[in-house]
Amino acid sequence: FNPGSLLNSIAYARENCRTSREALPGHAWEQMNELQIYANAHVNDALPRRGRYAFLTEIIHRCQQLTGLLSGTMSHDHAYDFVRIGRNLERADMTSRVVDIGAMTMQGPEDAGNLDVHVWTSMLRALNAYQMYRKDIKLGVHCADVVSYLLQNDYLPRSVSHCLDQVEECLGDLPLHQDTLKPLREVRRRVARIKPAKLDAISLHHEVDRLQVGISAVHDQIGKTWFA
C-alpha cells in the first residue's frame, strides 16, 4: 500500500518500460523483467537483518546494470533525454533527503561544523560518494564540507548541483523547454546560495525542504509540458 516502497517503485518502472518498449533496447525490457522477478521472489529475504544487505546489494547492482545498458545501447535522442532527466531529478531529490537525515543529527548551531564523523561518513557511503569525497576534498569528514560536497560539487554525479546541471543540458535539446527552465534555474540559484558552514540543524532542514519543493516544481512542469 506504500506507493514509495521498493516493490512499487520497481513495478512503476516496469510499467514505464512496458509503455515505452518501442523506444528502448530489447535487453532493457528483459533486464527490467528480471529485476522485478528477483525483487518479488526475494523481498522476504530482506526482512531478517542478516539477509537485508545481500538483497539490497543485488537490487542496487541490477539497477546499475540497467542504467549502464541504457547508456551504452540506447540512441541518445529525445527519449534518452527524458531518461536522463528522470534519473537526475530522482538523484537530486534523494541526495537532498540524505542531507536532511544528516541535519536531523545536529543538536544546535555549535554542532554545524563538529558533527559525528560516523554519521556523515554513513551519508557519503549511502550515496557511493565517500571515496570521491576523500579524493576531492582531501580533508576529514566534517558537516559543512560534506553538505557542500553533496549539494554543490560540480563533478560528483550524485550532487544536487551536478544533477540539475544534467537536467538543464537535456532540456536544452528538447522543444518547448522554456517554461521548465525557469523553475529549474531558480532551484540551481538556491543551491548555489546555500552557505553550509553558517547553517544550524533547523536552517539546513528548511533549505533542503525548499530544494525539494523546487525539484518537485520542475517535475510538475515537465509533466504539464510534455505529458499532459
Backbone angles phi, psi at 98, to 5 degrees: -65, -45
DSSP 223: I
Spatial CA neighbour of 195 closest among 148, 150, 140: 148
pLDDT tens per residue, range 105-145: 765 544 544 557 888 999 999 999 999 999 999 888 988 99
Give the largest Cα separation in the chain, rounded.
Answer: 56
Cα gap 41→29, rounded to integer Å: 18
pLDDT tens per residue, range 156-173: 999 999 999 999 999 999
Task: Report the interhelical angle of 78-104 vs 143-152 (nearest 10°).
Answer: 160
Identify whether the C-beta of residue 137 lies closer than 8 Å to the C-beta of residue 145. yes
Residue pLDDT tens, the chain, 228 long:
788 899 999 999 999 999 999 999 999 999 999 999 999 999 999 999 999 999 999 999 999 999 999 999 999 999 999 999 999 999 999 999 999 998 887 655 445 445 578 889 999 999 999 999 999 998 889 889 999 999 999 999 999 999 999 999 999 999 999 999 999 999 999 999 999 999 888 999 999 999 999 999 999 999 999 998
Cα gap 84→222, rounded to integer Å: 13
Q: 71 vs 32, 66, 75, 161, 202, CA distance in Å?
A: 15, 9, 8, 21, 39
Cα gap 127→108, rounded to integer Å: 25
Domain ranges of the chain: 1-74, 76-228
Q: Report pTM.
A: 0.91
CA 98 to chain centre: 9
Q: Which three cell numbers stand for residue 84?
A: 536522463
Contacts (Cβ under 8 Å, ≥6 apart) of 171: 81, 85, 177, 180, 181, 184
